[in-house]
Amino acid sequence: MFNLEVFTKKALASLNNAVSSARLLGHTYVGSEHMLLGMLKEGGNVASTILKTNKVTEKIMLEKIISMVGKGEPTKLDYECITPALSRILTDSSSASRSMGTRYIGTEHILMSLLKEPNCSGSSMLRSMGLNLNKLYSECVGIYANDAGGIMSPISQPDMKQFPVLSKYARNMTDAYSECVFDPVIGRKKETERIVQIISRRTKNNPCLVGEAGVGKTAVVEGLAQLLMKGEVPENIRDKRIFSLDITSMLAGAKYRGDFEERIKNCIEEVVRAGNIILFIDEIHTIVGAGAAEGAIDAANILKPQLARGEIQIIGATTLEEYRHHIEKDSALERRFQPVYIEEPDENECIDILKGLRENYENFHNVRISDKIIKNTVSLSVRYIHDRYLPDKAIDIIDEACSHARLNAARQKKSSSFRKFNTGNERMTIETLKKAIEKNNIRSDSLHQESINVTMDDITGVISLWTGIPVCQVNKEEGRKLIEMEAAVHKRVVGQNEAVNAVSSAVRRGRSGLRDDRRPVGSFLFLGPTGVGKTELSKALAECLFDTEDNLIRLDMSEFMERHSVSKLIGSPPGYVGFDDGGQLTEKIRRKPYSVILFDEVEKAHHDVMNILLQIMEDGTLTDSQGRKVDFRNTLIIMTSNIGAELITDKKQVGFGVQNDDEINKSRIMAEVKKFFKPEFINRLDKTIIFKSLDRNELREITVKLLDELSERAGKLGISLKYDSTAVDFLASVKDAEHYGARPLRRKITDEVETELSRKIIANELKSGDAARLTMENNHIKIMLSQFEKA
């Protein structure tokens, strides 16, 4: 009987795949043909590499099995259903391992054992494909030959003794024994051909991949390594091997001067001696200054002579910024590399990339991902995430959404699973469980069989968590909240129906998805006298949307009266103090892209500061001092101004022409606005709203609201505070309210009521459990105390 303990991870995974494939195909046994399919399905192992080199792919093998054996409904077989032929193959694989001088059983040993069984189904299928079994067996044996020109280009275990430094500080990316399996590389054919062309040069044959973080620089090199493993490269570089050099591990433990230089020198000697090794250095800018100390030289200067003579080849990868800061500054180092610019893929290319990676994530998370999900993920990542690049951000969203879907399904199944275990499996003994576990017969297939589908709710939920922007569909509760937004805002803002309706409509358009997503949610200019609710409306809107005023970004434009104040918004220029801190506006929006922005008293800002707002209102973006584009497309912009306020506060005519006077005042105010602001600024506003002066009824309503707030504060002290209509009428009849709005009313309540209440509380005349009533007596507010009326 075979011993699974000495099987490699790849071999065990291939065996599991063989059983799973037999189940899905509806077969009642697990044979040698399923073992071949399992090794091909696992990939990244020696057997699959040899088979694929001979044009035997997973798809071809599956079609051959179906054509020769057939396909039925899924079954529930286990390892006990392994055929005698496959059992012999697995047992004899240990003999193949011993003959090769290894202590483990890998996929190559299983394949060698299978090829020695000419009458098994797997061998018969390979022969039917026109393959020579003896040639395949020779290729398996050739892996262990100390011959670099053999079938397999990667270094085998015995060869590692010749490269002690490389085996310690580098990883062979073209090694079929590697436990690390690279994801498939989709596209990038042009870039790969460019790299191959540079590698094939006589001198200066060192490509350096340059691109933004996340566009796939390392993936291109991994794709080249996969092509080398498959032999799908030009003849002149077919024997090349790529080693990923880890500069950090070479630096680690280098206690004494000269240790690092010795390590890198020994590494170079091994590479030169091999003659067919290409070093890949990810983040290649780290070699500049690496290992440098007083009296020592860094890694870059150690490598320069060999690079110049063409003794070694290096593939580097770094970002545009790091390349500019480190590589370009060293002209001697730069001329030894040929830059290959890796551009961000467009949306269609990214969709193809995700489709190519879909199977990996489906198998890992045990979920299903549809084409529609992939397409929407790419478009949403482009729309809402602007500080990262494709395909990285789209891949990360898919990965986390799969995890989210899997965890949700597991939580929903948790309680029912426990109930099923307790009721249906009471008769299962410990011995039975142990036996089943030893045979690897208990697997978590229930969720997979139910086909957990990744939904748009999973995708939008992840994006909302990342950005704070409500991307998901409007649910019933939020829909009711949006429909009733005017009523919620009016709890804080009295009157001003036109302004409240305008901002509420803008928010609803934004959440419905019908608005132009190239501009902010809305941009409004509020005009009118002081104290009529312009700023209060902004605060009420933020509280209504976010249940807190924390997402209200308020900028008092009186602080931006100087020309150089622009740097406060977008950050100081390079070389000035505060350059790394960013701008007051841009940094807040980068952290909270879904916010209400209030530019208070905008007319007081310098005209150059006003020009900054043009880009925000038109394109929904703003570039900060560090060259980063900040997204304003999910913000609601409100600007307040007192221009033309005196035209409203002038004494109105009384009679049938009052409404006409309002229209005349609006036209006069807009004329003043056009004189002050540039046409391009006014033309970018969604709406200019003129706030009216507060009338008597509105002042009375505000008085009641302020007295209720005071009563609530008193209630926290255990004091019941009530008032009658005479007190409200008296307080609402404050002078100058027509000119100064509600602020004089707040001051009058403070002076007439709060001051006297505070004196009585301090003097212990009013204490917890007491009641007070406000009334008017002799044209003054009087506080009536009562100890019998409880709060």
Q: How does 248-285 read in b/e, with b if 16+ C-beta sit within 10 Å? A: eebbeebeeeeebbebbebbbebbeebeebbbbbbebb
Residue 105's CB is within 10 A of a number of other CB atoms, namely 25
Domain 347-464 has CATH 1.10.274.50: no
Which CATH topology does 1-144 take?
A: Double Clp-N motif (1.10.1780)
In order of 87, 90, 159, the CA distances from 94 in angstroms are 12, 7, 22
pLDDT at 393: 93
**SS3 track for 58-113:** HHHHHHHHHHHHCCCCCCCCCHHHECHHHHHHHHHHHHHHHHCCCCCECHHHHHHH
Q: Which of left, alpha, beta for 283 (phi over 0: left; psi -120 to 50: alpha)?
A: left
**Nearest-angstrom CA–CA distance, 454 and 528:** 51
Q: At what angle do helices 725-732 and 696-715 cross, to 10 degrees?
A: 120
Sign of torsion over alpha carbons 489, 493, 495, 501: negative
Model-level pTM?
0.65
| Total Cβ atoms within 10 A of residue 603 | 17
pLDDT value at residue 175: 67
Residue 606's nearest CA partner among 647, 646, 569, 553 is 569
Helix, coil or strand: residue 241 = strand
Task: Report whether 511 contacts 474 (CB < 8 A).
Answer: yes
Mean pLDDT by 10 residues, the chain (791 residues): 72 88 88 90 84 87 87 79 85 79 80 85 87 82 52 40 76 63 81 91 89 90 84 82 86 76 85 87 84 66 84 90 87 88 92 89 86 92 86 93 86 56 46 44 43 86 84 68 84 83 83 77 84 84 78 86 84 75 84 87 85 85 84 87 73 48 75 86 86 81 87 87 86 74 83 87 84 83 66 37
Q: What are the contacts of 475-484 at 24+ separation with CB within 8 A?
A: 478/511, 481/544, 482/507, 482/508, 482/511, 483/508
| Whole-number pLDDT of residue 396 | 93
Token pair listed for 650: 């002038």
Domain spanning 476-690, CATH architecture: 3-Layer(aba) Sandwich (3.40)
Q: How far apart are CA 130 and CA 316, in angstroms?
A: 42
Q: Classify 154-343 by CATH class.
A: alpha beta
Asked whether the bond before 520 is cis by omega within 30 degrees of 0, the reply is no
User: How many residues in total does the chain contain?
Assistant: 791
pLDDT at 441: 39
> What is the structure's pLDDT at 394?
93
Domain range annotation of the chain: 1-144, 154-343, 347-464, 476-690, 696-786
Q: What pLDDT, on the 0 to 100 scale, is given for residue 653?
A: 45
Rounded Cα distance between 311 and 351, Å, is 41
Is there a shared CATH topology between the 154-343 domain and the 476-690 domain? yes
Fold of 696-786: Helicase, Ruva Protein; domain 3 (1.10.8)
Q: How far apart are CA 490 and CA 537, in angstroms?
A: 9
